[in-house]
Structure 1
Amino acid sequence: MNVENLLVLAVALLMFPQLAQTLYSPALGDIGQAFAVGPERAGQTLSVYFLAFALGVVVWGRLCDRLGRRPVMLAGLAICACASALALNVSTFNGLLLAQAVAAFGAAVGSVVTQTVLRDRFEGAELAQVFSVMGIALAASPAIGLFSGATLVQHFGYRGMLAGLLLLALVLWGWCLWALPETRPASVSSASLGETFGLMLRDMQVWRSVGLVAAFNIALFSYYSVGQRGLSTVEFGYSGVLLALGSGMGAWLNKLLLKRGLRSEQLVLTAAGIAVLGSLLVLALQDSWLFVWPMLLVVLAFGMAIPNVLGAALVAYPDRLGTAAAVFGLLYYLVIGGGLALVAWAQELGWSLLVCGLAALWLAAPRVLRS
């Protein structure tokens, strides 16, 4: 498989988890009505998604070192498809949560295994450029997810969203069966998951990267969890298009500045500052629909920061990329899931964004000061 075709498939696989996450957002209101639960409990579906996703990251990341990238990818997508089909037939909210958790567990394969495949094929500056390209493509994911989810919910209710997720998982499974190559190196470290976990827990660089990934993701998904205030379902879906432009602009700007010689650490710090500014403006305008405009700054910061953080996170673990990616993903998805649970409980977008922005600024500053 040539590089161009691999990158196209990688884009689709990396977009899949984000699409699955954002497809749910416009359906939260309909889910609440269908199962007679309040917005706080309906909003917990996103936190459940991330917590189950974190478990999936560990399992699939470890298995792709043991069994290979291709068979693990096919297994994860198959589980996601089966769970989505099951969710279409549940009659209780707890049943929906369980089916969603299993689907999220399967969907995690699209994140951890795809990143591992890219790290198998690329390294150094080339890997940073690849993640920048991925970042530009991923910027479209929230827009596609929100718009598609809103359209499906408007015409078919939350079950339309579940059917869309099922179809997407089946299409990706067929594509991978036909085209995904096996990229696992001939020599992979025999280090255990426990050994790698202990090593990474003592690595402050890993924790700093975990905190940065979590802070920017919680800020982004806080909007999808509690940002519908004052907007109709259709307006909320269209707002995702606007925010995707901001995220894409951030990823494009990041790629441009990297080519001009700026260091990744500088770009992450700049992005954190932009996120703080955007969160302050959202906080000031959150009683008006105008808060959507400064939210553009928050998602622009996400687009700038995430490719740099991911590109540098596991450079110290080239002999165990799948296992290291499993541990790394587990840590940051647990933090994201916990953070989104707090956001759903608080129902405060502006303050949630500000806390995330300040945390990112605090975590990014030492990276620049050390260099």
Structure 2
Amino acid sequence: MKSKRLVVLAIALLMFPQLAQTLYSPALADIGRAFAVGPQQAAQTLSVYFLSFAFGVVVWGRLCDRIGRRPSMLIGLSLYAVASILALTSRTFDTLLVAQALAAFAAAVGSVVTQTLLRDRFNGAQLAQIFSLMGVALAASPAIGLFGGASLVHAFGYRGVLGCLLLLSLGLCLWSWRALPETRPHHLAAVGVFETLWRMLQDLDIWRSALLVALFNIALFSYYSLAPFIFEDLGLSGQSFGYSGVILALGSGLGAWFNKRLLRRGFGSARLIRIAALSGLLGGAGVWLMQGSVLFVLAMLPVVLAFGMAIPNILGSALSNYGDRLGTAGALFGLLYYLLIGVGMMLAAWSQALGLTLLSCAALGLLLARGQGK
């Protein structure tokens, strides 16, 4: 029973960073109008988010090895609430960017600490199944985030989204304070950050995994960054963009469901990642061909399906050789792939070319996946 309660709380905590990103996405156009900035500048708020998130992953991952999983989570969620208040009171775009950077730094606690405590409690095939379950749960995030964000922006403007994120962070902080256990091993060996970093930088499997995580995330989040402006160019409302989240959730849910079924049938992780990359390539080609029509949203289905299939398999096996230093290794691994995501999102915002971004990510992902084993 305790394990089930932990998994439910872990799902909520792991969903938090993704919900924060997807809730924020429908507010980009309104932010552009409120602060008199263009689409490229408004979209850069997501790039800032990912870069700050990357450094947050390192700090929280290291802290959860030093002071524990539970206190790290409580401090991070409290800091997110402070950042949300700063964003709500921002009067300039630069101040909003600073608030976004602080919020992203704090939100990283939901990713790295949650993954670490799950690796504390579960391993092997059981851990792969847990991550697969997480994938099914995360499939709901785009629908909740995009639809909820669009509704809040329509009713209250971008401040409605920021207020919702403030309440969400406070709610999770209270829940964690009441129910989150401490899972850090009592006799955790002291490991050096730079020693671990050097070992990981020489590990080709770590580089491959980090690049794959980054590419599948860039493909997904480039939609959140660029699609609001495509909808605007097509003469469609922000609410229409929010409704598209239902389609994305369907694709991501199907991907997680297929992943779970194929794992039970004996498909290896590497094979599933290759299938996901092919699905992403198909979707990218469809978006590129149909970008002048709202039908491009349907072409996103194979892209989000690919995300739902690939990410649980990559994360489930990435740190199998670092069991004696999960918090630190998880932090550095997260830093690596979130830095790559941040750079990729900057390039996507600069290009304003969704179809080309998706095709590039899928093609590179397929090349990397072909280099893996069975």
Alignment TM class, shorter chain as reference = over 0.9
How far off its partner does 1:186 sit?
Answer: 1.5
2:46 paired residue number: 46
2:114 paired residue number: 114
Distance 2:290 2:32 in 1: 27
Distance 2:195 2:166 in 1: 37
Q: Is it true that 1:31 corresponds to 2:56 in the alignment?
A: no
2:191 paired residue number: 191
Residue pairs, 1:340-351, within 5 angstroms: 340-351=345-356
1:289-344 per-position Cα deviation (integer Å, ceiling 9, x unaligned): 11111110000010000000000000000000000000000000000011001101
Tell me which amino acid in the other structure corresponds to 1:207.
Answer: W
Distance 1:140 1:269 in 2: 24
Q: Is it true that 1:57 corresponds to 2:57 in the alignment?
A: yes
1:98-130 per-position Cα deviation (integer Å, ceiling 9, x unaligned): 011101111100000000010000001110000
Tell me which amino acid in the other structure corresponds to 1:63.
Answer: L
1:138 paired residue number: 138
1:311 paired residue number: 316
Distance 1:164 1:68 in 2: 28
Distance 1:191 1:133 in 2: 31
Question: What SS does structure 2 have at the residue aligned with 1:182?
Answer: coil
Question: What SS does structure 2 have at the residue aligned with 1:344?
Answer: helix
Tell me which amino acid in the other structure corresponds to 1:158.
Answer: Y
* Ranges in structure 1 where 5+ consecutive residues have no aligned partner: none
How far off its partner does 1:189 sit?
Answer: 2.5
Question: What SS does structure 1 have at the residue aligned with 2:295?
Answer: helix
Residue pairs, 1:1-371, within 5 angstroms: 2-228=2-228, 229=230, 230=234, 231-368=236-373, 371=374
How far off its partner does 1:192 sit?
Answer: 1.0
Distance 2:215 2:330 in 1: 18
Q: So what's the TM-score if we normalise by structure 1?
A: 0.98
* Ranges in structure 2 where 5+ consecutive residues have no aligned partner: none
Question: What SS does structure 1 have at the residue aligned with 2:267?
Answer: coil
1:164-184 per-position Cα deviation (integer Å, ceiling 9, x unaligned): 000000000000000000000
Tell me which amino acid in the other structure corresponds to 1:328.
Answer: F
1:248-281 per-position Cα deviation (integer Å, ceiling 9, x unaligned): 1100110011011111110001100111111111
My pick for the range that moved more, 78-87 or 187-196, is: 187-196
Question: What SS does structure 1 have at the residue aligned with 2:45?
Answer: helix
Distance 1:203 1:325 in 2: 14
Distance 1:343 1:33 in 2: 21
Distance 1:281 1:170 in 2: 41
My pick for the range that moved more, 116-125 or 229-238, is: 229-238
Question: What SS does structure 1 have at the residue aligned with 2:116?
Answer: helix
Q: Which runs of 4+ in 1 moved over 6 A?
A: none
Q: So what's the TM-score if we normalise by structure 2?
A: 0.98
Distance 2:266 2:349 in 1: 40
Task: Report the RMSD for the aligned CA atoms in angstroms.
Answer: 0.8
Tell me which amino acid in the other structure corresponds to 2:295.
Answer: L
